Structure 1
Amino acid sequence: MAPTLAAVAALPSLRLLLRSDASLDVPVRWVAVSELTDPTPFLEGGELVLTTGMRLDDADTYVARLVGRAVAGLGFGVGLGHDRVPESLVGAARRHGLPLLEVPRPTPFVAIGKAVSRMLAAEQYEDVTRAAKAQRELARAALRGPDAVLAVLARVLRGWALLLDPAGEVSHAAPDSARARAAEVAVELPRLASAASLALPGPIVVQPVGLGRRPRAYLAVGTPDQLRPVAHTVVGAAVSLLSLRSETSEHRVREALGGLLLGTPPGFPEEPVRVLLCGPDTADALEGDPAADRCLTVPHGALTAVIAPDAIADRIAALAVAAGPVGVGDPVPLTGAVRSLGQAERARPGEGVRRHSDLPGGVLGQLGDPAREAAAQLLTPLDPVLRASLHAYLAHHGQGDPAARALGIHRHTLRHRMRRAADLLDRDLDDPTARAELWIALTLTDGPTPP
């Protein structure tokens, strides 16, 4: 957006003085210097016109012409032809609502032109930077699917976005309330057969998605104001990403199905593989690492499943943990990926990384999340010190001396801690059933070996 006349007038180096009561909240698109009685044939509108009034005869007609051309304002230089701004010009500016600025003699017109040029360049640079940032966000969103692309697009443009199938039915919307605009867009889609894009009242812009003759979808975007060039750039980037995704997705599906039929699935991770169950933003955490190119990343409910070669599973887990806890299944052939996913679900901890093989085996290994939640609830009253002490005490079969030595504390200290733990848990530590229950609870939450 161009700088406003108020921003130009506020520059202290120019020392401009406001001589009319018109609003300065108008964009300045350029600076034009002219001493003509009628400069309007050489103007486009939006200029700050500068003059010294050398040929100013009829101030009212002069100002009316400028207002009719929709100039941003008039700057009158004093100290040359006029010692001050003529009252006739001030009166005409006030009657017609034209912003009038007095330019003092020490301020050359070229300084005003340079200042506005710098402000325009800064605005353009900001637009380019904003567009580049939006394009990066869209590229990352494209990895997560059309919903994410539309969400970024609606937020960046402060509007709404719809993705319609070739029949005009909504497939994705951001926000969901934008679905109410689908009917007014769908009725106009036939016009796209002879146009690259549509501009509808609203304002609304519609573009086809796809690389072939027949669009695979249509992207419609609505904004509060007319789209500026930078916004059109962002919309174009979204269309390109959605087009590329639609074409490559079908190609990969066909390739994968053909490979499976022939027994040589292309592009799949080398066997054996592990399935990692990770946080929802795992794609961002893996972005840019070459190891991620050897994996398949798939949405799994609100989480993300990653099928990774066993050889690099640890590296992928170390990267993915930045997006949340990671559960890691056991190595399996590709055909066993579902089994490894189930193991990853059971292994996924509250934080950090945990392998399925780290879980207790046997009967304890069959206990699921409800048992772990109950165990965590049971042990909640214990602080880390009491918890570690109890774990060591039970690991040594209730024998105080070896447990105290393992902890590096005096046996009386351990005895005091066990009395405290028994009170907090409301359990008799001499009761075998209570000790078994606590051992299972600690094993399910901390592992079989005392920390």
Structure 2
Amino acid sequence: MPPTLASVAALPQLGLRPLTGPLPDTTVVWVAVSELEDPTPFLEGGELLLTTGMRLTPASAAGYVSRLVGRGVAGLGFAVGVIHDTVPAELLAAARDQGLVLLEVPRPTPFIAIGKAVSRMLAAEWYEDVTRAFQAQRELTRAALTGPGALVTRLARLLGGWALLLDPSGTVQHAEPATAAGRAEALSPELARLRRPPRARHADAPSASMALSLPGEHIVVQRIGLGGRPRRFLAVGTDTPLPHVAHTIVGAAVALLTLQSETPRTGRDLRASLAALLLGRPGDGPAVPRGPVRVLACAGGAAVLDALESDPAGGRCPALPLDGHIAVIVPDEVSAAIEPALAGTGPIGVSDPASGELAGALRQAGEALAAAVRSGRDVLRYSELPGQGVLGLLDPELAHAFADTLLAPLREEDLVETARAYIAANGQGEAAARALGVHRHTLRSRMRKAAEVLGRDPDDPAVRAELWIALSITSNQGDGIRQHGNSHSATP
């Protein structure tokens, strides 16, 4: 609530004393201090004027009060004990006769203390308005996710009045409460004015809204839409004029309704492309991606579609849900912007640039996605697959089964670490023995045992390669398989 004369005078630290009877709930917009005989040229109205009466005389009191009343000041605070020991009787009589609120300011209370107190109250009111507007915008946004009807209902309740959403012809689409629909006919002339294109409106006509004051009712009508023709109209009505914070709330509702009205435009080109394809004229489709495109295989589910809708470049990217992922066709020039936007939804596989037939690109994206899932990568390009090493191409389940089977005999004889050191040393017994901290003869004996239980010669390059793969797979934590450069192949 804004500060009023009553709330200011009620502050005990100020010690203000009303002299003209009960205080009204007149709003105080500011505190002004002046000793001029006529301060009104420097006032706007609504101020609590403070004075010591330095230039006040018994003869000038009535005229002084008359000027203040004419200017619309909220009240007059008169300091006693400075120039005048008490409030002059002539001033008090004039204030009572002309309806000016007069407050006595005690000598210990400095004018600046009153100014600071009112400033704090104004700041508190401003903060309350900002908080209310922010909370209202959140509520309206949440309601907008359900649809325009829910938004209109929430708006009417926030304002404590009624709200109407009308189509371009003036037909009611949503009304809250339902009885508000009866006001639509009376608004028809105002809608006709707002329906004019910008060049046809009079210079003094509001471009997007208008306000009406009727007996006991205040109405605001807003035009919805960005183009030359309105897409909808929003009308709200309350018993009292809308305060500043209420206008902010209405503005938020208009913005959300405009966004809902304009969003379908982003799909026009894609719908035209589909129509051109069905008509056998794909070259005429305005949004058919021309030139190189990439196919993205995304594992993020519905979140992928949400991310595309929220990105300006997403309108150029057709998406198709497939079994297990969503395929997105992305023009190559916007791929760098789209990939980070989708990366937060889950792993992504990216094809090489392609033109025309995209079946091959879809296969590439799927293979890249499978490798990204196995490796824990957010984004993996098909062109990067050869550089991922042998491990990145293996199916985790089959790879672990292979490793467990091959290494089982070594585990039974506690020879896994011996084999790991031997493979890491590339078959050099001296280096492997030093790594294990054993004598070379001990290592040689263990490796003969390993060859015996394996039934294979570890010095055979093919056998050593299989052992390296098996040992690298088992060196990973969990079910994943690390990629090139991350396997434990160095000497322990």
Q: TM-score, normalised by structure 1?
A: 0.58
1:307-346, aligned counterparts within 5 Å? Answer: none
Asked if 1:236 corresponds to 2:259, the answer is no
Would the alpha carbon gap of residues 310 and 137 (structure 1) be closer, same or farther in structure 2, given more than 3 Å must change? farther
1:22-421, aligned counterparts within 5 Å? Answer: 22-57=22-57, 58-192=60-194, 193=196, 194=201, 195-196=206-207, 197-201=209-213, 202-249=217-264, 251-252=266-267, 255=270, 259=274, 293=306
Contact 1:163 1:173 (8 Å CA) reproduced: yes
Would the alpha carbon gap of residues 115 and 292 (structure 1) be closer, same or farther in structure 2, given more than 3 Å must change? farther
Contact 1:22 1:98 (8 Å CA) reproduced: no
Would the alpha carbon gap of residues 294 and 78 (structure 1) be closer, same or farther in structure 2, given more than 3 Å must change? closer
Tell me the number of residue pairs that the alignment of Structure 1 and Structure 2 aligns: 287
Q: CA deviation at 1:254?
A: 7.3
Match of 1:305 in 2: none
Contact 1:26 1:72 (8 Å CA) reproduced: yes
Secondary structure at 1:237's aligned position in 2? helix
Contact 2:78 2:105 (8 Å CA) reproduced: yes
Q: CA deviation at 1:255?
A: 3.9
Q: Deviations over 1:309-346 (max 9, x none)?
A: 9979xxxxxxxxxxxxxxxxxxxxxxxxxxxxxxxxxx
Q: CA deviation at 1:261?
A: 8.6
Would the alpha carbon gap of residues 97 and 294 (structure 1) be closer, same or farther in structure 2, given more than 3 Å must change? closer
Contact 2:50 2:79 (8 Å CA) reproduced: yes
1-side partners of 2:111 and 2:51: how far apart? 9
Q: CA deviation at 1:190?
A: 2.2
Q: CA deviation at 1:149?
A: 0.8
Q: Deviations over 1:168-196 (max 9, x none)?
A: 11111111111111112122112223332
Long gaps (5+) in structure 1: 275-288, 297-307, 313-451
Contact 1:294 1:309 (8 Å CA) reproduced: no
Contact 2:5 2:24 (8 Å CA) reproduced: yes
1-side partners of 2:46 and 2:298: how far apart? 66
Q: CA deviation at 1:262?
A: 5.4
Match of 1:3 in 2: 3
Would the alpha carbon gap of residues 145 and 75 (structure 1) be closer, same or farther in structure 2, given more than 3 Å must change? same
Long gaps (5+) in structure 2: 279-287, 289-296, 310-320, 326-492
What letter is aligned with 1:137?
A: E
1-side partners of 2:39 and 2:323: how far apart? 76
Would the alpha carbon gap of residues 101 and 199 (structure 1) be closer, same or farther in structure 2, given more than 3 Å must change? same
Q: Deviations over 1:118-151 (max 9, x none)?
A: 1111101111111111111111111111111111
What letter is aligned with 1:88?
A: E
2-side partners of 1:106 and 1:84: how far apart? 14
Q: CA deviation at 1:99?
A: 1.3
What letter is aligned with 1:24?
A: P
Secondary structure at 1:248's aligned position in 2? helix
Would the alpha carbon gap of residues 309 and 80 (structure 1) be closer, same or farther in structure 2, given more than 3 Å must change? farther
What letter is aligned with 2:96?
A: R
Would the alpha carbon gap of residues 230 and 63 (structure 1) be closer, same or farther in structure 2, given more than 3 Å must change? same
Q: Deviations over 1:258-291 (max 9, x none)?
A: 659959xx9xxx999x9xxxxxxxxxxxxxx958
2-side partners of 1:311 and 1:73: how far apart? 73
Secondary structure at 1:116's aligned position in 2? helix
Q: CA deviation at 1:250?
A: 5.2
2-side partners of 1:252 and 1:143: how far apart? 19
Secondary structure at 1:102's aligned position in 2? strand
Match of 1:15 in 2: 15
Would the alpha carbon gap of residues 254 and 153 (structure 1) be closer, same or farther in structure 2, given more than 3 Å must change? farther
Would the alpha carbon gap of residues 309 and 24 (structure 1) be closer, same or farther in structure 2, given more than 3 Å must change? farther
2-side partners of 1:125 and 1:89: how far apart? 38
The CA RMSD measured in Å over matched residues stands at 3.2
Secondary structure at 2:182's aligned position in 1? helix
2-side partners of 1:152 and 1:41: how far apart? 44
Match of 1:445 in 2: none
Q: CA deviation at 1:294?
A: 8.0
Q: Deviations over 1:397-451 (max 9, x none)?
A: xxxxxxxxxxxxxxxxxxxxxxxxxxxxxxxxxxxxxxxxxxxxxxxxxxxxxxx
Secondary structure at 1:198's aligned position in 2? strand
Larger Rg: 2
Contact 1:22 1:99 (8 Å CA) reproduced: no
Would the alpha carbon gap of residues 253 and 145 (structure 1) be closer, same or farther in structure 2, given more than 3 Å must change? farther
Match of 1:343 in 2: none
Contact 2:298 2:304 (8 Å CA) reproduced: no
Contact 1:21 1:97 (8 Å CA) reproduced: no
What letter is aligned with 2:120?
A: R
Percent of aligned pairs with the same amino acid: 60
Q: CA deviation at 1:295?
A: 12
What letter is aligned with 1:28?
A: V
Q: CA deviation at 1:11?
A: 0.9
Contact 1:166 1:216 (8 Å CA) reproduced: yes
Contact 2:33 2:50 (8 Å CA) reproduced: yes
